[in-house]
Amino acid sequence: MVRAQGVCKVFSDCKNRQVVAIDEFNLQVREKEFVSILGPSGCGKSTFLLLVAGLEKATRGRIMIDGHSVNGPDPKRAIVFQEYLLFPWKTVRGNVEFGPEVRGVAKTKRRDISAKYIDLVGLNKFENRYPHELSGGMKQRVAIARALANEPKVMLMDEPFGALDALTRELLQQELLRIWQETKCTVLFVTHSIGEAIYLSDRVVVMSRRPGRIMATLTIDIPRPRTRADLTTPQFVMYEQALRGMIWEEIQDSQE
């Protein structure tokens, strides 16, 4: 489904120095798989998502989706950022209908699409509200509904719950699993939280420090549907310790 082969991305910084964000990056994600990416700050996680989204272009290597090279953005690859990036002048419905509108979907069909996804994220009484009238968790629900309104095959999520308080975050993790079960798109999820990565994913990949590449992959064999009780099982704790060990090694090496 998603395949990154020998991907390298070099940026030029403001002083025209070259920054190699990721290099020799290889990853294969199956259709409908939920894969989380963990790694030290600045290792190139967001860069990788932007490359898959087609919002940045790889310097070397290639990214294939269903056997086709990524050459630019496509509504079939939706991205959700930590900052909700909603249009403040549009209502919840207006935000969710934006993608279909740009694609030229007729008004009645657009209404059906927005109703379906606003309902799916649990905001059906709020379709006429504006972003400033919503809490952080609700804004992120709108951002998810807006992404889903394009009926994407791949959802790219860059620390989507990073700005939320702990309880809202737990609630949205639960909701995301439910939504994913219903829509069954492929998810690439970047997070700083080891627990969140294990809880949500079929597979967790750990990136090395910059230039980022995949250092390790861990398959999470916890049956679904999962509940928060799974977070305290010996199996969960074992995954957590393994991942924490790998990440600490990377962080400490970079301090030397």
Shortest CB 102 distance to ligand ADP, Å: 24
Instruction: Mention every residue, 6+ apart, whose C-beta is less than 8 A from residue 91.
Output: 127, 128, 129, 130
Q: Which is nearer to Mg ion, 50 or 86 (CB)?
A: 50
Q: Which is nearer to ligand ADP, 20 or 105 (CB)?
A: 20
Residues that bind ligand ADP (CB under 6 A): 11, 13, 19, 21, 39, 41-47, 210
Using rule CB under 5 A, residue 191 touches Mg ion: no
- Which does residue 42 touch among ligand ADP, Mg ion, none (CB within 5 to 8 A, set by kind)? ligand ADP
Using rule CB under 5 A, residue 46 touches Mg ion: yes
Shortest CB 19 distance to ligand ADP, Å: 5
- Which does residue 256 touch among Mg ion, ligand ADP, none (CB within 5 to 8 A, set by kind)? none
Which range of residues in 20-28, 45-53, 59-67, 141-149 is near Mg ion by CB under 5 A?
45-53
Which range of residues in 22-30, 40-48, 165-173, 198-206 is near Mg ion by CB under 5 A?
40-48
Shortest CB 120 distance to ligand ADP, Å: 28
